[in-house]
Amino acid sequence: MRGALMDEVIDAAIDSVIDAVRRRRGPSREGWGNTARACHAMGGRAMRLPDRLSALRPALVSWLLGLALLAPGLAAGAERADWESALRAAIAERGLDPAEIMKPLALTADMRAWLAENVPGHPESAERMRALLRGLLSARGLEVRYTSGFTGTAEQVFEERAGNCLGFTQMFVVMGRELGVDVYYLAVDRLTRFRKESDLIIVSDHVTAAFDDGGERRILEFSLAGDFDYRRARRIGDVQALGLYYSNRGAEEIQERDYEEGERLLEIAVALDPEMAPAWVNLGVAHRRRGRLAAAEAAYERAIELDESQLSAYHNLVGLYRLQGKHDPAGAILRMLDRRDNRNPFIYLQLGDMSAAQGQRDEARSFLRRAARLGQDLAEPYAALGLWHLDAGDRKRAARFLRRAEKRDPEEERTSRLRERLAAADGPGL
């Protein structure tokens, strides 16, 4: 979406939420969740957009959701903290070179010049942030777009006009602080992403930015998913956020099969934040891909020590044991996981997904059946079983599980995916 129409939409969205701040009639956190659902339903009513714009594609609506969540958090008169000096000192304490490690956060001369030109020094933080948002999103400005995958530095996102959630968040945080607004990072633990790299699982985390406003947290959402539940979001420091950057970049290099570079980046990540379990999981993957099996085992074990719920670490450790012919300890881990939180169907869904990703289909079905028994009111376990049977070529059973899932929640993500795949299998006109 480009040009005048895009600018009209952005201006309408910004005006709506900024006016709500001025009147102090902004919705509660629960209200923002309703805004998210309204926006993703494409009505645009919660944003008070013109009716003729209601047919815009979901990606654009996600941009507007980001604006709605962000704008109420404008912090008037926020003082700029000397965060750079503190971060340099913390990096040096970890035996790393601050000048090298802080490059992902660097504001270039061009970026500062852009801020000076596009964000006037208005005394009200709200007005400065209005200008920043318009400059970042509008066709007359940067028109930054969301892209999944590569985690760019602040400079790369600025130059390429594109970034994922962490890349954009980094740029937004340093720009916001440059403007005197106290912006910080949020990690959303429940939104960890699992990706398959051959028979292993690599991990990346969802990160965004937030402000505090009158005792309430206001959150920026920069992604195409939207409607996230942030009740489990936690504030993290700059060192931790930088560690997440290196962990995500390391995971991306692993997917690109550059295991040496992935290992280097992940070693930086765990040096910055030794308590970050997902980084240890990814480092274990890099070690294993480079043939360092003992180091891989130690990394997985460290991840488990830090977070006993880090299922990807157990999963990869099982795969490592199987590779080494250690079937007894591999089976012991699976049996232990089978007993762990045995009333929680979502654990078994994750175990089923992980087993399926490794090609252990019978094992996956066993976990999915347990999930369905424990979560009889949930659509997802039944849809997952339907997908399993469809992959096995049993369309009739897949359709039966689809009906059971639809009775519980026809809009659930796996249920929708199963319905679409069954429709495609039927073919046109059948």
pLDDT tens-place string over residues 254-302: 989 999 999 999 999 999 999 999 899 999 999 999 999 999 999 999 9
Q: CA separation (Å) from 86 to 183, 235, 237, 239?
A: 15, 17, 11, 10
> Which residues of the chain, if any, have pLDDT below 50?
1-2, 16-80, 191, 196, 429-430
Among 177, 204, 233, the domain-final residue is: 233
CA 381/CA 214 separation, integer angstroms: 41
CATH number of the CATH domain containing 373:
1.25.40.10
> Which pLDDT score, from 0 to 100, does residue 46 have?
28
Could you tell me if 60 and 204 lie in one domain? yes
Query: Looking at the 3D structure of the chain, how many domains does it have?
Result: 2
For residues 68 and 17, the answer to whether their CB atoms sit within 8 Å is yes
CA 195/CA 151 separation, integer angstroms: 15
> Which pLDDT score, from 0 to 100, does residue 44 have?
26
The reported pTM is 0.69
For residues 172 and 119, the answer to whether their CB atoms sit within 8 Å is no
Q: Give me 190's structure tokens.
A: 């429940």
> Which pLDDT score, from 0 to 100, does residue 105 have?
93
Asked whether residue 323 is domain-assigned, the answer is: no
Name the strand (E) or helix (H) holding 380.
helix 380-391
Burial of 178 (0-12, 13-18, 19+ CB in 10 A): middle
Q: What number of other Cβ atoms are within 10 A of residue 326's Cβ?
A: 14
Among 200, 233, 266, the domain-final residue is: 233
Q: Give me 346's structure tokens.
A: 């979502």
For residues 140 and 154, the answer to whether their CB atoms sit within 8 Å is no
> Which pLDDT score, from 0 to 100, does residue 353 have?
85
Asked whether residue 228 is domain-assigned, the answer is: yes
Q: Give me 264's structure tokens.
A: 């280097």
Asked whether residue 19 is domain-assigned, the answer is: yes
For residues 381 and 372, the answer to whether their CB atoms sit within 8 Å is yes
Could you tell me if 198 and 61 lie in one domain? yes
> Which pLDDT score, from 0 to 100, does residue 308 have?
83
Asked whether residue 320 is domain-assigned, the answer is: no
Give 348's contacts (C-beta < 8 A, 6+ positions apart): 367, 368, 370, 371, 374, 381
CA 338/CA 332 separation, integer angstroms: 10
**CB-based burial, 57-72: b 16+ in 10 Å, e otherwise:** eeebbbbbbbbbbbbb
Asked whether residue 158 is domain-assigned, the answer is: yes
Among 181, 205, 233, the domain-final residue is: 233
CA 241/CA 231 separation, integer angstroms: 19
Strands 162-163, 145-146: pairing is parallel
Strands 145-146, 184-197: pairing is unpaired
Could you tell me if 222 and 348 lie in one domain? no
Could you tell me if 223 and 357 lie in one domain? no
Q: Which residues pair with 201 in a beta bridge?
A: 196
Phi, then psi, of 200 in degrees rounded to 5: -115, 160
Convert the pLDDT of each residue in 94-142 to its tens digit. 999 999 999 999 999 999 999 988 888 777 666 776 777 788 878 888 8
> Which pLDDT score, from 0 to 100, does residue 223 have?
55
Where in the sequence is the domain holding 94, given as residue range(s)?
3-233
